[in-house]
């Protein structure tokens, strides 16, 4: 018995935002004081650290559930299944549906219910629910799906990750440049084959001091004094946390899978920022006293930005469809997925294709 991915799809928004877009922004420090560097210098340093020179924002009339529905439909078509046969729809997100120029989050009904509605699924036994687990939400949804299938509560599940982070960023915070929008979806099904699918997984929540590394806070602009809250992160603490916890979780997961480090063909890591992801990859291989293999870790953040829960399924879709240079996944490949985000939550999964 195994849980296998039979379909994948994504929605990559069309609004391209290049770094020069931010040249006219008024970036401020946390206390509201002006940053001494010029915007040009701020952007240059930002690109050197994150690797991002472009990011994509959702169209004005699109919400997270709209994007999720498109990605879901593409995954269903890719799997060539009847959507009425889905047992669960799990939609991972963090901020619900937020309309353009409207800061209020809308989660009633749930995004999963909205996706079911947009897919026109009539079957009442197809259960739809939302999952909020920070950036690792889609991967945690995959782990939920695996558990349902193992428990014989389901045979076919749709897991979606979707977010419009562009609508919860503070224009006065230079970290706002990292975030983007998007959606990715997978169909996971029961299979009587045991030589592929989800082999092992590991999840953890660190909620002591780490709980407040990512929060929802007021704007850095103290003059406006608006009640609106925005996503805020302590980049340095997140970086150190990720480098300490994520590689170890990946190692533990790999050891539980029974595979060796030499068997691993790809690392698909949440696209947080280029420097941090590369450091996670480096630290992971250091745990095995091995050099990092060439082309082991595909990256999409340079052009897509950080779309939170959407980065991993979107990245998987791009790699599976060979839309990233020097990147592909072939039958029999062992792949490690890993993510880190608000909570602070981490997870990892070993999957054999």
- pLDDT tens digit sequence for 27-71: 999 888 989 899 999 999 999 999 999 999 999 999 999 999 999
| Burial of 176: CB neighbours in 10 Å, binned 0-12, 13-18, 19+ | buried
What CA–CA distance (Å, rounded) separates 275 from 304? 15
Q: Which domains are present in the chain?
A: 2-195 (3.40.47.10), 198-352 (3.40.47.10)
Q: Given a cut of 70, is residue 266 above it in pLDDT?
A: yes
pLDDT of residue 226: 76
Task: Write the burial class of residue 53 (CB in 10 Å: 0-12 exposed, 13-18 middle, 19+ buried).
Answer: middle
Does position 21 have pLDDT exceeding 70, yes or no?
A: yes
Q: Which are the contacts of 20, defined by CB distance < 8 A and separation ≥ 6?
A: 43
Q: Is the pLDDT of residue 225 over 70?
A: no
Q: What is the CA radius of gyration of the chain?
A: 20
Residue 223 has pLDDT above 90, yes or no: no
> pTM for this one?
0.95
Q: Is the pLDDT of residue 255 over 80?
A: yes
- pLDDT, the chain, mean: 94
Average pLDDT over residues 276-299: 96
CA dihedral sign, ordered 119, 123, 124, 126? negative
């Amino acid at each position: 018995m195994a849980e296998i991915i039979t379909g994948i799809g994504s929605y990559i928004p069309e609004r391209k935002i290049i770094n020069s877009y931010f040249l006219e922004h008024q970036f401020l420090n946390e206390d509201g004081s002006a940053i001494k560097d010029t915007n040009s210098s701020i952007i240059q340093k930002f690109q050197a650290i994150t690797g991002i020179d472009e990011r994509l924002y959702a169209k004005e009339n699109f919400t997270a559930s709209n994007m999720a529905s498109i990605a879901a439909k593409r995954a269903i078509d890719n799997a060539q299944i009847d959507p009425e046969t889905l047992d669960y729809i799990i939609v991972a997100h963090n901020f619900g549906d937020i309309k353009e120029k409207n800061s209020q989050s809308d989660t009633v009904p749930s995004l999963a219910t909205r996706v079911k509605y947009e897919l026109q699924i009539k079957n009442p036994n197809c259960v739809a629910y939302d999952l909020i687990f920070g950036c690792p939400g889609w991967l945690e949804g995959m782990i939920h799906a695996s558990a349902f299938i193992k428990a014989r509560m389901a045979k076919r599940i749709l897991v979606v990750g979707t977010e419009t982070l562009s609508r919860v960023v503070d224009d006065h915070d230079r970290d706002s440049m990292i975030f983007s929008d998007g959606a990715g979806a997978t169909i996971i099904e029961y299979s009587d084959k045991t030589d592929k699918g989800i082999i092992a997984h590991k999840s953890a929540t660190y909620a002591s001091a780490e709980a407040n590394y990512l929060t929802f806070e007021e704007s850095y602009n103290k003059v406006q004094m608006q009640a609106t809250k925005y996503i805020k992160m302590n980049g340095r603490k997140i970086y150190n946390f990720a480098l300490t916890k994520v590689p170890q979780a990946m190692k533990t997961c790999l050891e539980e899978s029974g595979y060796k480090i030499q068997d691993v063909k790809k690392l698909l890591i949440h696209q947080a920022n280029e420097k941090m992801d590369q450091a996670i990859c480096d630290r992971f291989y250091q745990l095995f006293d091995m050099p990092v293999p060439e082309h082991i870790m595909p990256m999409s953040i340079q052009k897509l930005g950080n779309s939170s829960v959407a980065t991993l399924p979107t990245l998987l879709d791009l790699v599976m469809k060979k839309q990233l240079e020097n990147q592909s996944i072939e039958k029999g490949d062992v792949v490690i997925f890993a993510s880190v985000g608000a909570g602070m939550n981490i997870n990892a999964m070993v999957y054999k294709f």
